[in-house]
């Protein structure tokens, strides 16, 4: 009888600045990859706003990947100086907001490839949020 060795993935302990900035950088890079795939699939990433056509890529992808993440993670890690429990709460809230805002993308008049790619970008943020905040929590508990 053979026994397979089990491997356990553990999130590394991260300090606050590394977690926030690293998560934002990872989100931008991964979402730009998703954008490139969406563009290659024929996505135009153009929407109509008040009768005017507006492109949301790639600049919009960069801004909308980094800014909300930087704000949310910064607030969470600052509050964690007082209350460590906020980190797991923020991971849940951030994940729900990221998934919930897919509805805003679907409601806009993007073409199908753009809608799918932009929706995937929202999903990409979930593990980034969870790993960054769990890494900070492990860093705090390791101190």
pLDDT digits (tens, 9 = 90+) for 97-142: 999 999 999 999 999 999 999 999 999 999 999 999 999 999 998 8
- Residue 24 · residue 69 · CB < 8 Å: yes
Closest Cα partner for 68 from 101, 29, 104, 113?
Answer: 101
Q: How confident is the model at residue 4 (pLDDT cuts 50, 70, 90)?
A: low
**pLDDT reading at 32 higher than 80:** yes
* Range of weakest confidence among 8-12, 30-34, 37-41, 106-110: 8-12
Q: How far apart are CA 65 and CA 123, in angstroms?
A: 11
Mean pLDDT of 72-96: 98
Distance CA 56, CA 32 (A): 12
On whether the CB atoms of residues 102 and 133 are closer than 8 A, the answer is: no
Total residues found in the chain within this entry: 143
- Band the pLDDT of 50: cuts 50, 70, 90: confident
The pLDDT of 20-28, averaged and rounded, is: 98
Phi, psi for residue 55 in degrees, rounded to 5:
-95, 140
d(CA 125, CA 24): 9
What's the pLDDT score for residue 1?
A: 60
CB 76 within 8 A of CB 86: yes
Distance, in Å, from the CA atom of 34 to the CA atom of 22, rounded to the nearest integer, reads: 18
Q: Which residues contact 55 (CB under 8 A, 6 or more apart)?
A: 44, 45, 46
What band does 83 get if pLDDT is binned at 50, 70 and 90? very high
Mean pLDDT of the chain, nearest integer: 94
Handedness of CA 80, 83, 86, 88 (dihedral sign): positive
pLDDT band for 57, please (50, 70, 90 cuts): confident
């Amino acid at each position: 009888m053979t026994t397979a060795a089990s491997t356990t993935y553990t999130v590394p302990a991260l300090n606050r600045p590394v977690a926030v900035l690293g998560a934002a950088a990872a989100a931008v890079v991964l979402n730009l990859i998703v954008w490139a795939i969406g563009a290659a699939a024929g996505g135009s990433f153009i929407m109509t706003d008040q009768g005017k056509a507006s492109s949301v890529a790639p600049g919009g992808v960069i801004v909308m990947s980094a800014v909300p993440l930087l704000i949310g993670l910064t607030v969470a890690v600052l509050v964690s100086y007082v209350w460590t429990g906020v980190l797991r709460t923020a991971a849940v809230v951030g994940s729900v907001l990221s998934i919930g805002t897919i509805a805003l993308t679907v409601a806009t008049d993007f073409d199908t490839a753009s809608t799918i790619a932009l929706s995937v970008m929202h999903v990409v943020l979930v593990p980034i949020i969870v790993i960054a905040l769990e890494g900070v929590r492990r860093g705090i508990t390791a101190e």
